[in-house]
């Protein structure tokens, strides 16, 4: 235990251990943030403020007020209800066999759709698009033309957009990209963003997905579905047990 004293606020000694315990309550990705000394100092100031206001609350006898008692009672009720609901759904599990059965029963839903890997050059006018297209036709590398002419942030990667499926791009762009052959450059294609030259680098046809590749995602999906079903079923049972009268 680290008993190094960092501050004393309203008579309360704040140690390194107390600050570390507070950091431990944050999600792992946020805990990394507090490895920065400045961030840790900011949190220490927040902890100091907490103890100062705690002292003020004691001086003002906040805990003896009607508002405090009513708020506390409401919070206790909400916590108890939450814990009861959590106790119902946390027992729900999904095993590998359930996930595999779902996988086998829904082959159409578990297909990897057709995909295109493309690069593009985006410019404001058709004239600029044609100028870039002429230079590419004359031997200029598409990636070099993208870095020189494109207004899209993808220019930093030579216009590379990676793989994308249907429904991810605006319709005009999608039709042109999926209609072209691998290695073909098409355009200018006008969209709401401007004029595009599109180079199709590769195409992937629709293909099946292996169960092992998506097992964990399937299990998580089914788990959430089962939890929802159990929750709603329990609500119906509790309605019968305790009674509910809806006025509308």
Task: Map out the domains of the chain as residue ranges.
Answer: 1-60, 114-205
User: How much is the pLDDT for 232?
Assistant: 93
pLDDT at 53: 95
Least confident of 8-17, 32-41, 138-147: 32-41
CATH topology of domain 114-205: Chitinase A; domain 3 (3.10.50)
pLDDT band at residue 104 under the 50/70/90 scheme: confident
Taking only the tens place, the pLDDT of each residue in 134-185 is: 999 999 999 999 999 898 888 888 898 888 887 788 889 888 988 888 888 9
- Tokens representing residue 73 in the block: 């009672």
Mean model confidence pLDDT for the chain: 88
Mean pLDDT along residues 103-126: 79
Distance between CA 136 and CA 143 in Å, rounded?
A: 9
Q: What is the pLDDT of residue 207?
A: 61
- Pairwise CA distance, residues 117 & 142, whole Å: 14
Residue 126 has pLDDT above 70, yes or no: yes
Q: Cβ(131)–Cβ(195) under 8 Å?
A: no
| Mean predicted confidence (pLDDT) in 214-220 | 86
CA torsion, ordered 214, 215, 220, 223, to nearest 10 deg: 140
Q: Which residues pair with 14 in a beta bridge?
A: 7
CA distance 10 to 56: 9
Tokens describing residue 104 = 């086998």
- Strand-pair partners of 111: 208
C-alpha pair distances (Å), 139 with each of 98, 132, 145, 198: 56, 11, 10, 16
| 110 CB burial (10 A radius; 0-12, 13-18, 19+) | middle
Is 110's pLDDT higher than 80? no
User: pLDDT value at position 212?
Assistant: 78
Burial state string for 190-217 with b = 16 or more CB within 10 A and e = fewer than 16: eeeebbbbbbbbebeeeeeeeeeeeeee
Across residues 213-235, what is the average pLDDT?
89
Does position 62 have pLDDT exceeding 80, yes or no? Answer: yes
pTM of the model as a whole: 0.51
- In the prediction, which pLDDT does 129 show? 92
**CA 86, 89, 95 angle in degrees (round to 5)?**
140
Strand-pair partners of 113: none
Sign of CA dihedral 157, 159, 163, 167: positive
pLDDT at 210: 75
pLDDT at 37 over 90: no
- What Rg value do the Cα atoms of the chain yield, rounded? 30
One DSSP character per residue, 157-183 reads GTTEEEEEETTSS-HHHHHHHHHSPTT
pLDDT computed for residue 164 by the predictor = 83
Number of neighbouring beta carbons within 10 Å of residue 45 = 11
Report whether 164 contacts 116 (CB < 8 A).
Answer: yes
Task: Indicate whether 188 pLDDT > 80.
Answer: yes
């Amino acid at each position: 235990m680290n008993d190094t004293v960092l501050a004393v606020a309203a008579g309360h000694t704040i140690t390194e251990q107390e600050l570390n315990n507070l950091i431990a309550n944050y999600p792992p990705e946020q805990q990394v943030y507090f490895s920065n000394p400045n961030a840790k100092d900011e949190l220490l100031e927040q902890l100091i403020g907490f103890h100062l206001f705690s002292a003020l609350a004691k001086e003002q006898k906040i805990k003896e007020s009607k508002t405090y008692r009513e708020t506390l009672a409401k919070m206790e009720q909400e916590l108890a209800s939450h814990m009861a609901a959590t106790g119902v759904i946390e027992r729900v599990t999904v095993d590998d066999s359930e996930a595999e059965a779902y996988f086998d029963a829904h082959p159409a839903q578990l297909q990897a759709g057709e995909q295109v890997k493309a690069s593009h050059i985006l410019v404001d006018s058709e004239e600029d698009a044609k100028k870039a297209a002429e230079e590419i036709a004359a031997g200029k590398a598409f990636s070099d033309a993208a870095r020189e002419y494109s207004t899209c942030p993808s220019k930093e990667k030579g216009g590379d957009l990676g793989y994308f499926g249907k429904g991810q791009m605006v319709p005009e762009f999608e039709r042109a990209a999926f209609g072209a052959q691998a290695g073909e450059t098409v355009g200018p294609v006008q969209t709401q963003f401007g004029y595009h030259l599109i180079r199709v680098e590769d195409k992937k046809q629709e293909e099946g997905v292996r169960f092992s590749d998506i097992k964990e995602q399937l299990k998580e999906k089914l788990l959430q579905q089962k939890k929802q079903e159990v929750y709603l079923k329990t609500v119906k049972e509790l309605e019968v047990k305790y009674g509910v009268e809806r006025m509308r």
